[in-house]
Amino acid sequence: MPIDFIAATYIGSFEDSGLLLEVYDEVNRYFMREELPIRMLFVGKLSIPPGYLINLQTEAGTVKLYPLEAILDALHSKLLHEIESKGSIKMDKIFALVSFPLVSRNPYFDFYEQFFGIQEERVGLRMMVLSVKPFENGAERREMFKNRLLKGVLHEIGHSYGLSHCQNNCVMNPPANMDEWDSRFLGYCDSCFLEIKRKLSLLEFELP
């Protein structure tokens, strides 16, 4: 079965950007081990013009970050560019790890709602965004932080192929806290695995 590629990028300033590439590599190793025809294809860091920055008031003071709307627009444009430049590769999804909290304006000015990860689909193209911020809290070791992110990436990818939240020991089971997340199995449970295989088998792939 042909491979379904997911464009992978990151947004923001990271002290250890190499860790993000390791996460994407580990995701690919997981899919290869489980013989799932999904691969993440790193397409470079994504920069958003500073004019889109907003100021968010927090307990620690004012934080500058990009609103979710600007991130999704940038990802959509990037995915369209990658599809055009890599015409021989089937790719209708893009994934971004971001270094700041995800916030979205509602219709009332200066009111924001915070998210860990979110997805949006536009005319058959899917954008996925995951903030690393929630996973930093209490991460005593680099490996712990990486495993948290890896589970988060697998969780969002699972949603992109139609998986819902489950109640098993699985990355699709959302935790009540980070201790629960750390104890989760690093992968899909049998039920979710069979469902994602079923969804993949239904996809119509275009051969290169």
- Comparing 8-12, 61-65, 151-155, the range with the smallest average pLDDT is 61-65
> What global pTM score does this model have?
0.90
Q: What pLDDT is attached to residue 65?
A: 83
| Mean pLDDT across 169-198 | 94
Note whether 180 and 171 are within 8 A (CB): no
Domain boundaries, the chain: 4-202
- Comparing 12-16, 124-128, 186-190, the range with the smallest average pLDDT is 12-16
- Pairwise pLDDT comparison (9 vs 107), residue with the higher score: 9
Q: Does the structure show a pLDDT above 90 at 10?
A: yes
Q: What pLDDT is attached to residue 113?
A: 52
- Of the options 3.40.50.10240, 3.40.390.10, 1.20.200.10, 2.70.98.10, the CATH number for the domain spanning 4-202: 3.40.390.10
Average pLDDT, the chain: 88
In the chain, alpha helices (H)? 17-33, 68-85, 133-136, 142-160, 178-183, 190-202
Where does the pLDDT of residue 64 fall: very low under 50, low under 70, confident under 90, or very high at 90 and above? confident
In whole angstroms, give the CA distance from residue 141 to residue 136: 10
Residues serving a catalytic function are: 156
State the Cα angle at 142 between 137 and 144, rounded to 5°.
65
84-122 pLDDT, tens digit per residue, is: 998 888 899 999 999 988 887 654 434 445 557 889 999
37 φ, ψ (degrees, to nearest 5): -80, 60
Q: Does the structure show a pLDDT above 50 at 63?
A: yes
The length of the chain, given as a count of residues:
208
138 φ, ψ (degrees, to nearest 5): 75, 10
Pairing assessment for the beta strands 61-65 and 54-58 based on DSSP bridges? antiparallel
